[in-house]
Amino acid sequence: MDKETLTEIPALADIGQAELRRRRLERMLTVASPFLVLFAWELVVRAGMLDSRIFPAPSMIGETFERLLLSGELMAHLSISLLRIGAGFLIGAIPGVLLGTAMGLSPLLRAIVAPIVASLYPIPKIAIFPMVMALCGIGELSKYMLVGIAVFFFMVINTYTGVASLDRIFWDVGRSFRVSRMRRLLTIALPGALPMIAAGVRLSLGVSLLVLVSAEFVGAKSGIGYLVWNSWQIFDVEAMYVGIVVIGALGWIFFAGIDELERRFLPWATANRH
Amino acid sequence: MSLLPLEFETDAPADAIQAPIIVLEKVGKRFLTKAGEYEAFADFDLTIREGEFVCLLGPSGCGKTSLLRILAGLDSHNSGVLRIREPKGDKPFMSVVFQENSIFPWLSVRDNVAYGLRSRQAASAMVDQRVDQLLETVGLTGFQRLYPHQLSGGMKQRVSIARAFANDPQLLLMDEPFSALDEQNRSLLQEELLRIWSLSGKTVLFITHSIDEALFLGDRVVVMGGRPGHVMADISVPFPRPRQQYALKASPAYGALVAEVAELIRLAMQVSRA
């Protein structure tokens, strides 16, 4: 090799156009892919390759959806389920945040309560549903209570984690300004813990949907879970799928809703995400 | 009562013996650690008079931060006598500017600066006026509605300084507030600090491990060192005000003083290591 000659490294004309094209394609595929799947599903059922008694075509599910919507049945079930989730959420979240805050501020209280919470929390809520029904009857209260219990655990744990793990320095600021305990709680502890509390709300809504649907399978005569279970029992498979889709959509709406609320009210916490 | 007089007070109260506002006599601090007792500092003597800008200079680990926490009321001393002059009326004794970012992420710049005042339930018209004044002095008027996550490190420290001054304390404690900043920002903020200080007539205890910073800012430099920490020297800084960074560094007297102090620090570190 001739030591005197230098090899040229060529310049590249691409300053990022290829990357931009790739990203655009990715975005299009993300949006299109669910539709492509539905389309493929439709074709496969029409061609007779899937048994439509178990996997009805999307068009058939769509027709049933329209039927249930127009008859008011869907909205009735949906509103009952939403009411149960809403009431259960309040029943669980309010005591949860209160206890969690107290635990976050008092290491002594935390030492006593945290182990109890930790051991009760992994118990599947549906397993205690019979016990809840024995205590609260088989009416609406038992559903509210079951959701409430599930929500309570998430809210306690997230709240006390949020309060306890708040950077020491913010407490130092409060104390150096000789701020009273109550004011420190309201102006430092709560705002500081809010991101963790919001995460708790997100988890709670997800879990309450799960818990409620399974409770409605076995212990209700109304609600989306009942729609799914009952439809299966009477072989109205399309109606079952409508219920499943609605549950999925609800979950998505809850999550997207909390995301949006966080972006609006907690911009300082979400600023460094994704 | 206006915090910042409109006229610039040019003459320093050089000859008048100002009343002391804080006196430490043989103050000591010990901690109980897993390895046994640890003495942070001992036999610490210091008197700070009203209107003085005192720099506490020492290597890392000599107990400076422990001392500041005691003066800020966040910790207690274990031996010796600590006396302070209680402020008249509603004024707090001291405010702290911490080394790390300590402004609340959930409050805007304006609300952060107003925090100490609002906690004391000061009249809201007065609060607005003082906050406006201070924001203008630190050059953040245009940024007052922004949140900390939208600010640079230097701007955050300015908010911290404005907040401490806004509270109108008798004594300002500053714990290496500029050490996390780059050199350019650091010089800028040092000059701004001197400007605010000279307009306000407050007393400042400024902790640093930078010799240049101590000599530029202080009327007095108290060199702290050794293990346990104690006062190694109490040097009167002879340079007249207002001081200019570059002019100062060019003067031979400055160089000699830096050398003297540097030797003291080196001694302090050797003792610590022993």
pLDDT tens digits along B109-120: 999 999 989 988
Residue A82 counted as domain residue: yes
Angle at CA of residue A151, ends A149 and A154, nearest 5°: 115
The interface predicted TM-score (ipTM) is 0.84
Look at residue B4 and tell me whether its pLDDT is greater than 50: no
Structural domain boundaries enclosing A220: 59-267
Indicate the Cα dihedral angle A180, A181, A185, A187, nearest 10°: 10
* Chain B partners within 8 Å of A268 (Cβ): 105-106, 147-149
Q: Tens of pLDDT along B211-270?
A: 999 999 999 999 998 878 889 899 999 998 889 888 888 888 999 999 999 998 888 887
- Helix or strand holding residue A193 (H, E): helix A190-219
Calpha distance A127→B201 (Å, rounded): 69
Residue A163 counted as domain residue: yes
Kindly give the interhelix angle for A190-219 and A140-164, rounded to the nearest 10 degrees: 150
Residue A97 counted as domain residue: yes
Nearest CA in chain B to A272: B149
pLDDT at residue B52 in the model = 93
Residue A80 counted as domain residue: yes
Out of A169, A177, A267, name the one closest to residue B167 (CB): A177
Average pLDDT, chain A: 91
Fold of B51-78+89-273: Rossmann fold (3.40.50)
Look at residue B15 and tell me whether its pLDDT is greater than 50: no
Band (pLDDT 50/70/90 cuts) for residue A271 is: low
Lowest mean per-residue pLDDT among A15-24, A195-204, B5-14: B5-14
Calpha distance B146→B120 (Å, rounded): 24
Segments in A47-177 forming alpha helices (H): 58-70, 73-105, 107-120, 129-136, 140-164, 168-176
SS3 category, B25: strand
Contact B74 A169 (CB under 8 A): no
Mutate to test the interface with A, among B119, B146, B147 (most CBs of A within 10 A): B119
Residue A42 counted as domain residue: no
Lowest mean per-residue pLDDT among A39-53, A86-100, A183-197, A215-229: A39-53
Backbone angles phi, psi at B35, to 5 degrees: -85, 10
pLDDT at residue A272 in the model = 58
Number of domains in chain A: 1
Band (pLDDT 50/70/90 cuts) for residue A1 is: low
Residue by residue, DSSP assigns A16-85 as SHHHHHHHHHHHHHHHHHHHHHHHHHHHHHHTTSS-TTTS--HHHHHHHHHHHHHTTHHHHHHHHHHHHH
Domain ranges of chain B: 51-78+89-273
Query: Is the CB of B165 inside 8 Å of chain A's CB atoms?
Result: no
Calpha distance A183→A168 (Å, rounded): 16
pLDDT at residue B17 in the model = 57
**Over pLDDT 90: what percentage of chain A?**
64
Residue A3 counted as domain residue: no
Lowest mean per-residue pLDDT among A208-212, B9-13, B101-105: B9-13
Out of B74, B96, B149, name the one closest to residue A271 (CB): B149
- Start-to-end CA distance of chain B, whole Å, equals 53
Within 8 A by CB and 6+ apart from A52, the residues are: A45, A60
pLDDT at residue A146 in the model = 94
Query: Is the CB of B104 inside 8 Å of chain A's CB atoms?
Result: yes
Average pLDDT, chain B: 86
Nearest CA in chain B to A170: B102
Q: Which residues of A touch B (CB under 8 A)?
A: 169-170, 172-173, 175-180, 183, 187-188, 191-192, 194, 266-269, 271-272
Contact B74 A175 (CB under 8 A): yes
Out of A172, A180, A272, name the one closest to residue B98 (CB): A172
Backbone angles phi, psi at B232, to 5 degrees: -95, -30
CATH number at residue A248: 1.10.3720.10
Backbone angles phi, psi at B46, to 5 degrees: -160, 135
Q: Tens of pLDDT along B121-174?
A: 878 888 999 999 899 888 899 999 999 999 998 899 999 999 999 988 989 999
Band (pLDDT 50/70/90 cuts) for residue B177 is: very high
Q: How many CB pairs under 8 A join A and B?
A: 57
Query: Is the CB of B92 inside 8 Å of chain A's CB atoms?
Result: yes
* Chain A partners within 8 Å of B149 (Cβ): 267-268, 271-272
Nearest C-alpha of chain A: how many angstroms from B244?
32
Look at residue A274 and tell me whether its pLDDT is greater than 60: no
**Over pLDDT 90: what percentage of chain B?**
49
* Chain B partners within 8 Å of A188 (Cβ): 104
Query: Is the CB of B95 inside 8 Å of chain A's CB atoms?
Result: yes
State how beta strands B79-84 and B36-49 pair.
unpaired
State how beta strands B94-97 and B203-208 pair.
unpaired
When pLDDT is averaged across residues A162-167 and rounded to a whole number, the result is 93
Look at residue B6 and tell me whether its pLDDT is greater than 70: no
pLDDT at residue B114 in the model = 94
- Helix or strand holding residue B211 (H, E): helix B211-217
Nearest CA in chain B to A184: B119
Contact B104 A188 (CB under 8 A): yes
